Amino acid sequence: MSQPLAAWLAETFGRTPADVSPFVRALTHGSHGGETYERLEFLGDRVLGLVMAEWLWDVFPAEPEGQLSKRLNALVTGAVCADVARSLGVRPHLRLGKQALADGASDSDNVLGDVMEALIGAWYREAGLDAVRSFVRGAWGDRVHSGGKAPQHPKSALQEWAAAAGRRPPEYTLLDRSGPGHAPRFTVAVAIGSFARAEATAGNKQEAETAAARALLEQVRGGART
């Protein structure tokens, strides 16, 4: 392990891990070769969900399940995890193949979001749930408090709008998948029958659907005001 990595791990987690190999794996992309972050990402995703759900339960004691779910979904997206990774200084420590590095994988939301979850998985294995709870609450910081009302997911909002307007439910269609494996691009269309349609492109299918729903929602709400 390099000295810069050791110093960064100590600064990020409060101490140098007793076993650094899981953290090296958490920072290793498939293009680099060897063991990658994927298994740790699987674990970290579930641990993050639990810690975040518990945190929201404590912070918003009067909110019902539906509102808490909206907050949870907004706080654990790949984009938010990637933003946290950037704020912690993950990028210089990523282990990427030459082509992936040249293709900009070091600033990919997909890669950084996955690595952030993998690091959480590694820290959970190293130090346990209490340590992860402390780490996540520090790393996510004020994000959990942003906005007084729980945000509504654009797909849910669009479906509610369609039902209230007596329109057909929104239908999503994957139009295109392009780009390298470490930085794919998905283009999705959403339509409410023949009434309205919008497209969007993002780094994964779920985010593309969300962006398309947001675009169509703005379109139909704008049309309703004119």
pLDDT of residue 1: 55
Q: Which residues of the chain have pLDDT under 70?
A: 1, 147-152, 223-226
Active site residues: 45, 117
For residue 191, the SS3 value is strand
Paired tokens of 20:
């650094």
Per-residue pLDDT, 152: 65
Cα Rg for the chain, rounded, in angstroms? 20
Judge whether 114 and 41 are in contact, CB under 8 Å.
yes
Alpha carbons 178 and 40: distance in angstroms, whole number: 26
Is residue 219 within 8 A of residue 163, CB to CB? The reply is no
Can you tell me whether residue 173 is helix, strand or coil? strand
Q: What integer pLDDT is reported at residue 104 of this predicted model?
A: 80
Under DSSP, is residue 188 helix (H, G, I), strand (E, B) or coil? strand
